[in-house]
Amino acid sequence: MKNIFPLWQPAGNADSGRAGPWRWLVPVLLVLLFLAVLIWLPWQAREMESNERQEQLIADTLWVEQTLRFELARNEEALASLGADLVTKPPAPEALRARLAQMFKNGHELQRLVWLDANGRVLAARGAELPASGLSEASRSAALLARETHTSRYSEPYGATALTHGLLDYTLPLFRDGEYQGSLVATYSLKVLLDETVPWWFAQENALSLLDRDDRVVAQRSAGGPGRGVYTHKHALDLPGAAITLATDSVKGAPKLLPNLLVGSVIVLALGLLLSLAALWRHIARTLAAEGALRQQMAFRTAMENSLVTGLRARDLEGRVTYVNPAFCQMVGLPAEELVGKKPPMPYWAPEAMADYEQRFEKVLAGNITPQFETVFQRTDGVRVPVLVFEAPLVDSRGRQTGWMSSILDITDRKRVEELIRKQEEKLQESARLATMGEMSSMLAHELNQPLAAISSYTAGALNVLARAEELNEPVNARLLRRALEQARQQAQRAGQIIKSVHEFVKKREPERRPVAIGSVVDGVRALIELQARQAYVALRMQIPRELPPVLADRVMLEQVLLNLTRNGIEAMQDLAPERRVLRVEAEALDGQVSVSVIDSGHGIAPEVAERLFSPFFSTKAEGMGMGLSICRTAIEFHGGTLTHAANPGGGTIFTFTLPAQAQVQAA
């Protein structure tokens, strides 16, 4: 035994000496790896934290930008509503002041609101006084672009100094029937806008600044002190006409490595769970805060939708109603629970418009919609409500279409106003016809004197024939007597036709669209046209084909148009030599349209006059009211046609009005 152990032990020591370095290499490598991990983890943790802070700052900056834009958009909608009311029917001064006061109460960032007319004069204002020099240069430039483009615009920020913050002007141009009526100019304080819209907790953690296009600070808010310049982000506000950038600078500094990596590793290993729980708690707190902010925003949006007078309706791709707001429910007289989830036919469809509803619903199922159309809804009490519907695709966050969104406007008042305007136009047309007859009264008197004098002569001759026969005791010459009486009858019919034409032209009546032939319309006023032509020594040439298709129109309105156009043509040639005074009335059918042209060889129309030729109350005659051509255009457009004018190559003017042929009207 003693011999064995010594022999084994040296052999064992030799193997141990040879394998020692390799046996220690793995633990050493593992220790080095562990130390490397301990050194790398804090550095990596700092980088991850830095990236996380930067990403969080970017997300918060985008959220603040959306909040600022939403606040400005809310004011834009309020100004658009006020501008529409000012153009159509300006409210009383007290009502206007109350409305402006409400807008200032709702938006504390508003500093000044000015209503200007088309010449730049102030019609109403509230807030800070307008400087003696008027609007700023930036605001004037924005107002000019807004007027030229017919769209609202923001000005570049101005007025920022070392002691004062910048201002921002918003200009809303006002138009009516394409004519510029003035503008609304709202002035915002950028500092108040930041103070009112940016949450306090975000301002405590970040310094916010609004920069102009030259990166100059026009407003800032730094409740938590100046930023460190470590975590920064800039994002441009989407404002038409203004280049404003939102800049955020976090008050947090860069995370630091622990001074002692070993102590730090022990702390990290010991407090890892606590840090994880703290991070989880922080994440949960932020999630709850975000959810609270989201609920607040949703409550605000819901309150805003509930306060709208515009009906909102959402439908899925199968036409099933998925959402309605209170305004829509009030419009159709049904609660939301009876509408949501229901597929067509809908209970508010009017029976007389059922075919149109079904046709539109088939287009919806096919993926095609009519973006804008008018229709009629029927409330539960049977009252018909005319509505204007706007429809657009409803798209989810992934860009996939999930249905259709509709905005419905109750246009009952608009229809009532249109009917009132129509009646006023009818009265104006009636007055114009009476005025026309008044102007032609002397010619009518002269024209009636001729047949009356002829009747008197023929009846006197007939009496002479009878007296001679009685005196000579001879039989009456029946042939001579019949001829005299026939001539007297013809003259009486001529006078009666003139009086009938005048009576039919001026009598009060409702517009009645019936199939009429252009030839019969011309014949109805031929006597009056010829009367004017003879008085002015004008040769009348009429070319009306017999095969013209009829048009669906009010006969008297077309007669008034013809009489006004021919009278204008005759008056335009009064300075020409009599042999050159030729008035032509021609008609033709082309592409489903019937056109009638009144062609004179007068002095023509100057370019500056042509621009305002059809404007109401515009006249080149000293005694004219300026309503003739305006009434003519209104009458033709009432029938779905157009009235145009062009220069006559031979001198003079060609007035042409076109009307849809009756077959085209029925097809439409």
Q: Quick: pLDDT tens for 158-170.
A: 888 877 788 999 9
Q: Which of 8-17, 42-51, 301-310, 328-337 has the highest mean pLDDT?
A: 328-337
pLDDT at position 3 is 41
Residue-wise DSSP of 158-218: B---SSS--EEEEEEEEEETTEEEEEEEEEEEHHHHHHHHS-HHHHHHEEEEEE-TT--EE
The H or E element spanning position 21 is helix 4-88
pLDDT above 70 for 42 = no
Average pLDDT over residues 273-281: 66
Q: Which residues contact 379 (CB under 8 A, 6 or more apart)?
A: 331, 332, 333, 348, 385
* 136-145, 278-287, 332-341, 615-624: least confident range: 615-624
pLDDT at position 320 is 86
Provide the residue type at 425 as one letter: E
| Residue 41 CB-density burial (10 A; 0-12 exposed, 13-18 middle, 19+ buried) | middle
Give 574-626 pLDDT, tens digit per residue: 888 888 899 999 999 988 899 999 999 988 887 777 666 765 544 455 444 33
Give 424-479 pLDDT, tens digit per residue: 666 665 565 555 555 555 555 545 655 665 576 567 667 766 777 777 777 776 77
Average pLDDT over residues 283-300: 82
Average pLDDT over residues 314-328: 84
Residue with token string 């969104």: 405
* 82-96, 377-391, 581-595, 609-623: least confident range: 609-623
pLDDT above 70 for 59 = yes
Distance CA 306, CA 325 (A): 6
Structure confidence at residue 656 as a pLDDT band (50, 70, 90): very high
Give 481-504 pLDDT, tens digit per residue: 776 677 677 667 666 666 665 555
Distance CA 13, CA 20 (A): 10
Average pLDDT over residues 510-515: 73
In the chain, how many H helices and how many E strands?
16, 21
* 114-123, 166-175, 310-319: least confident range: 310-319
Q: Which residues contact 608 (CB under 8 A, 6 or more apart)?
A: none
pLDDT above 50 for 387 = yes
pTM of the prediction?
A: 0.37
Structure confidence at residue 25 as a pLDDT band (50, 70, 90): low
Provide the residue type at 403 as one letter: G
Q: Looking at per-residue confidence, does 30 or 17 come out higher?
A: 30
Residue with token string 């600078």: 249
Tokens linked to 475: 């039989």
Exposure string for 284-311, b = 16+ CB within 10 A, e = fewer: eeeeeeeeeeeeeeeeeeeeeeeeeeeb
Q: Looking at per-residue confidence, does 21 or 344 come out higher?
A: 344
pLDDT at position 173 is 93
Tokens linked to 243: 């280049």
* 395-399, 459-463, 583-587, 640-644: least confident range: 459-463
Q: Looking at per-residue confidence, does 613 or 665 come out higher?
A: 613
